[in-house]
Amino acid sequence: MIEIVLGIGLIAAISAALVERRRRIRMYHVLDRMLDQILDREEIEISDIQEGELSSLAGKSIRIQEKMESEIEQAMREKEQVKSLISNMSHQLKTPLSNVMMWRELLEEQVSDEQQKVFLVKMKQQMDKIEWILQSLFKMVRLEQGAIQFEVTETSIKETLARAVNTVYERAEKKNIQIITLPFEDCRLLHNRKWTAEVFSNILENAIKYSDVNNQIEIRICPLELFTEVKIRDHGIGIEKEELTDIFKRFYRSKRVEHKEGSGIGLYLSRLILEQEKGYMTVSSEYGVGSTFSIFLQNCQNSSAKLSLE
């Protein structure tokens, strides 16, 4: 009797061991298949996996795969951005660098003192353009990466506008373009004077560049409930309706203005600056008539931030 019981127990033990071995082998094959699917970036099959340890592992494997896919996609996007940036930098710098080389070669020849002065002025203009492009590119990249953090404070909008107008005054004067600021009560808005003045300067420079001589640009301040709108209106060539959303993209330039100097950086850089200030910008335009750019800056919470005109 004891031998029978021992025999039955041994058979049961062997059967249990075989079942466990088959379970482990099956688990190994399932895990091996899931790892291969992760490595091959294939969809993990879970239809034949029942609830339990394998089901839990399958769920975690799917999350690992999704995270890997997300990181791979992010890496690919960053790679394309770097390629695009290098390509555009090369394109932007090609013309001014070629011009510098040309003026340098001309200076190496026997030229009069008067010609030498002209060539040196033209070379300096091209070198200034190269410096501006590089500085704009560096600002753009650092703003995109969040490497630039500037302070936003309650600041007089009149002083910021005056700073921007002074920057472009000489260019406007050469084309006999008047910059008219309609009377308004000065107020403090949440912005950074240096960076916001650059936003206004970028828009004013475009307005001057794409306007005919003997023209004018109007600046109007419109207080709203949460924001104050700064409208800059020109009477230039205007923008086609289908391009209105494209002009704020990095390096975008309309085919209609490719013959004019430009980099396609200014408006994109302005948008990045305003985003950091929690502001924004819109545009309305009619081709052949002109454009109006509206910059929205946050009002200060304290209503006593208004300044009296002196």
Confidence at 303, pLDDT banded by 50, 70, 90: very low
**By mean pLDDT, which of 215-224, 225-234, 243-252, 253-262 is the weakest?**
253-262
DSSP the chain: -HHHHHHHHHHHHHHHHHHHHHHHHHHHHHHHHHHHHHHTT-PPP-TTPPTTHHHHHHHHHHHHHHHHHHHHHHHHHHHHHHHHHHHHHHHHHHHHHHHHHHHHHHHHS---HHHHHHHHHHHHHHHHHHHHHHHHHHHHHHHHTT------EEEEHHHHHHHHHHHHHHHHHHTT-EEEE-----BEEEE-HHHHHHHHHHHHHHHHHTS-SS-EEEEEEEE-SSEEEEEEE--SS---GGGTTTTTSTT---GGGTTS---S-HHHHHHHHHHHTT-EEEEEEETTTEEEEEEEEEEPSSGGGB----
Average pLDDT over residues 272-301: 92
Residues 6+ apart with CB under 8 A from 298: 189, 190, 191, 226, 227, 277, 278, 279
Q: CA angle at residue 110 from 106 to 111, to 5 degrees?
A: 70
What does the mean pLDDT of the chain come to? Answer: 80
The CATH architecture one would assign to domain 153-305 is 2-Layer Sandwich (3.30)
Q: State whether CATH 1.10.287 applies to domain 88-144.
A: yes
In tens, the pLDDT along 34-92 reads 677 767 766 766 655 555 556 666 666 677 777 777 777 877 776 676 666 666 667 66
Question: What is the pLDDT at residue 204?
Answer: 95
Tell me the average pLDDT across 149-157: 90
Q: Where in the chain is the domain with CATH 1.10.287?
A: 88-144
Query: Which residues of the chain does CATH 3.30.565.10 include?
Result: 153-305
Give the number of other Cβ atoms within 10 Å of residue 293's Cβ: 24
pLDDT bucket at 275, cuts 50 / 70 / 90: very high
Average pLDDT estimate for 195-211: 93
User: What pLDDT does residue 309 have?
Assistant: 33
Residues 6+ apart with CB under 8 A from 237: 210, 211, 256, 257, 287, 288
Say if pTM beats, i.e. exceeds, 0.75: no
- Give one word for 259, left, alpha or beta, with left for phi > 0 and alpha for psi -120 to 50: alpha
pLDDT at 295: 96
Question: Among residues 95, 121, 94, which one has the least CA distance to residue 106?
Answer: 121
Residue carrying structure tokens 């290098």: 86
- pLDDT band for 245, please (50, 70, 90 cuts): confident
The percent of residues above 70 in pLDDT, for the chain, comes to 73
